[in-house]
Structures are given as structure tokens and as C-alpha cells.
Amino acid sequence: MLDTSLLNDLVGCYLVLAIGYNILSLVLYDVKGRPLTSNKPVQAIVLVALLYMIYVSEAALGSGAWMFLMVVFLLLILRFGVYQHLAGYDETRYFSRSAWVAAIAINVFGVAVLTLSLF
């Protein structure tokens, strides 16, 4: 099992990467007229922020409610953060192939560290 401090740092790293990717997507849309991906970056930022609030609220929520909410978020990340991107690269949906790979990598990393937090 990972040290709690390390796990918290890894979850924090995922959150920074996910929010940063979506902020960059917004900036690219403003500058170049094309976001990193066709996903809705503002909604993604809000969901990741909500995930973080739930992640740090385990004591207040109780372990059962916290575990349930974390599993719900894991399923959402798997569906909209991993599966949706893995469905295939389409140059009309992504700024570049690198943006596509980054979206997959960030979310796979998130699923991994959030899954570890359940144990």
C-alpha cells in the first residue's frame, strides 16, 4: 500500500494535470479558435474540483458515502475521460494527436491513483 502522503500527492498531481489540460484547452480556443478536444472544458474543471472536494472530505462524509462517491467518479472518469478518448483519434475532435494521447494518459493516471485511494 502507498504511503498516504504520497497517495495524496499523486491525486493532487492528477487534479493539476486534469485542470491544466482543460485550462489550456480554453486558452487554445481563445487564441487559435480550436480547443485541445471537443469535450467541454469548463464542465470538466468543475467536475474535477468537485472530485477533489469529495476526496479531501472522507472524514466528514464517512467512509461508506465517500467510497460510493469515489466509485461514481471513477466510473465517470473511465467513461468520459478514458473510453471516450480511446474510441479513436479523429482530427476534427482533437487539436493534435499529442492532445489525444495526453487526454488518455492523464485520465488513466487518474483512474490508477484514485483506485489506489480506495484501498
Residue among 89, 2, 81, 70 at smallest CA distance from 43:
81
Per the structure, how many domains does the chain have?
1
C-alpha cell of residue 24: 489550456
What is the reported pLDDT for 1?
58
pLDDT in tens, 37-87: 988 999 999 999 999 999 999 999 999 999 999 999 999 999 999 999 999
For residue 2, pLDDT over 80 is answered with no
Domain limits for position 67: 4-117
**For every residue of 1-70, which 3-state class applies, written as one string?**
CCCHHHHHHHHHHHHHHHHHHHHHHHHHHHHHCCCCECCCHHHHHHHHHHHHHHHCCHHHHCHHHHHHHH
For residue 98, pLDDT over 80 is answered with yes
Q: Name residue 33's amino acid.
A: G
Q: What is the mean pLDDT of residues 82-93?
A: 90
